[in-house]
Amino acid sequence: MEIKDVLQKLSEARGVAGHENEAAELAASLFQPYVDKIKRDNLGNLVAYKKGALRSRRRPSIFLAAHLDEIGLIVTEVNENGFIRFSTIGGFDPRTLWGQAVMVHGRRDLPGVIGPKSPHLVSQEEAGKELRIEDMHIDVALSKEKAEELVRVGDTVSIHRDFMEMKNSACVTGKALDDRAGIACLIQTARQLQRMVHDFDVYFVGTVQEEVGTRGAITSTYSIMPDIGVAVDVCHGNMPGVTEEDSSELGKGPAISVGPNIHPVLGDKLKEVAKQHRISYDIEAEPGVTPTDARAIQVTREGVPCALVSIPVRYMHTSVEVIHTEDLNLAGQLLAYFIADINHEFLQEVKDYD
């Protein structure tokens, strides 16, 4: 299956934070042909394990984390006319929800729309006002009785958007590319590793609940305690109105982060491997804790040296996220070459860094 098709399936799968089952099962089936063992842990993290080639009682391990969850909505009330009030799970710009198609996961899946007020009925004064979640509603076109039968407080709602390939370019658009693109990248890496020899054991982890506080990464890292961790997430893609220092150009490869959340030896090694294999990349300067699973991985137990590789995405946290598939391919390759390259000596170098 081409990576574009893998990404399409992943993008269209549902997996709002805390309710990642569908996305997790799909990801599991996609990892299956390339790994030795697959399981789900206490909080639902997907752990796909591929054994390393080093003959040793204790093989070193590397943990690659991409998050399975996407931002979504949650029902807070079914009102007297069958309309649904909601709140958010994860960060949303309320202005991007007005007119958005959604799927309410009640007793069965119900398509609906976050109904905007028709422009004809909007007064001059209202037109300039801030849009707030509490003033919005989801319309599933059901009567109060029927709605109450099928929908309850606490049901999740996912954003509905069909995946789309753009013309004359390798760009694609869809919802949840944050971070299904990361998952697709890990699958790509797993595929590549089939044809490579690597000393390290590899854990491909689809973490849960990253969008609400990197919660899955906290517990999955704690269980596995790898020697090295790499988070694979998305970063901001270039677009008008955003400065160069805050974004990465699409189609120029993945971004490798540097900063206090990143182990300097790992950051340098990733750059070295990229240069060696002519994989173009961008450097992302992160002056503090990164808003990704790397933040949790680094400080688990006695600490895990970690790095962060990101795929540039435009319009993050909207249903029309855009990525360049070549960036995804390159990120997958970079990680595969990196894993094939590292060995005990390298691990020692990481540990000896002073």
Partner 1 sequence: MYLEELSPIPGVSGDEREVRKYIRECLPRKGVKVENDTMGNLLVQKRGKSSRKNAPHIMLAAHMDEVGFMISSIEKSGHLRFKKVGGLDDRVLVAKSVLVGKERVPGVIGSKAVHLQRKEERQKPYEVKNLFIDIGAKSKEDAEKLVKIGDYVSFKSSFTSVGEDCYMGKAFDDRVGCSILLELLKQKNMPSFTAAFTVQEEVGFRGARTAAYTLQPDIAIVLEGTAASDVPEAKDHEHATTLGCGPALTVMDQSVIADRELLTNLVNLAERENIPYQFRRFTGGFTDGGAIALAGEGTRTAVISVPCRYIHSPFSILQQSDYYHTLKLVQAFLENNSG
Partner 2 sequence: MKELMKKITETYGPSGLENEIRKVIYEEIKDYVDEAYTDKLGNLVALRKGKAPHLMLAAHMDEIGLVVTHVDDNGFLRISNVGGVAFSQLVGQRFVFENGTVGTIYHEKIKSFKELEWSKLYMDIGAINKDDAIKRVNIGDVAVPHQPFLEQGQRLMSKAMDNRAGCAVLIELIKRLYGSKLPQEISFVFTIQEEVGLRGARSAAYALSPQYAIAVDVTRVGDMPEAPRMDVSLGKGPAIKVMDSSVISHPQVRQNLIEIASQNGIEYQLEVLERGGTDAGAIHISREGVPSGVVSIPCRYVHTPSEMIDSNDLDNTVNLMEKVCLSPTWN
Binding residues for partner 1, rule: CB under 8 A, are: 243-246, 258-261, 263, 267, 283, 285-289, 298-299, 301-305, 350-351, 353-354
Rank residues 191 and 263 by Cβ distance to partner 1 and give the closer one.
263
Cβ 109 to partner 1, closest distance in Å? 40
Cβ 170 to partner 2, closest distance in Å? 36
Q: Is residue 310 part of the contact set for partner 2 (CB under 8 A)?
A: no
Q: Is residue 160 part of the contact set for partner 2 (CB under 8 A)?
A: no
Q: Is residue 212 part of the contact set for partner 2 (CB under 8 A)?
A: yes
Rank residues 152 and 351 by Cβ distance to partner 2 and give the closer one.
152
Catalytic position from the list 12, 70, 210, 321: 210
Rank residues 78 and 103 by Cβ distance to partner 2 and give the closer one.
78
Q: Is residue 87 part of the contact set for partner 2 (CB under 8 A)?
A: yes
76 binds, among partner 1, partner 2, none (CB under 5 to 8 A by kind): partner 2
Cβ 156 to partner 2, closest distance in Å? 9
209: left (phi over 0), alpha (psi -120 to 50) or beta: left
The count of residues interacting with partner 2 (CB under 8 A) is: 27
Cβ distance 318 to 94 under 8 Å? Answer: no
286 assigned to active site: no
Phi/psi at 24 (5° precision): -65, -45
Rank residues 46 and 265 by Cβ distance to partner 2 and give the closer one.
46
CA gap 99, 96 in Å, rounded:
8
**Residue selected from 8, 209, 319, 329 as contacting partner 2 according to rule CB under 8 A:** 209
> CB-hemisphere CA count at 13 Å for 268?
7
Cβ 39 to partner 2, closest distance in Å? 12
Cβ 137 to partner 2, closest distance in Å? 11
CA gap 231, 284 in Å, rounded:
14
Q: Is residue 215 part of the contact set for partner 2 (CB under 8 A)?
A: yes
Q: What is the contact mask toward partner 2 in residues 20 to 49, using x (rule: CB under 8 A)? A: ---------------------xxx-x----
Helix, strand, or coil (residue 138):
strand
Cβ distance 84 to 112 under 8 Å? Answer: yes
Query: Segment near partner 2 (CB under 8 A), from 119-127, 147-155, 171-179, 277-285?
Result: 147-155
Rank residues 85 and 236 by Cβ distance to partner 2 and give the closer one.
85
Cβ 17 to partner 2, closest distance in Å? 6
The footprint of partner 2 (CB under 8 A) covers 17-19, 41-43, 45, 74-77, 85, 87, 89, 134, 152-154, 209, 212, 215-216, 218-220, 222-223
Q: Which residues are catalytically annotated?
A: 210
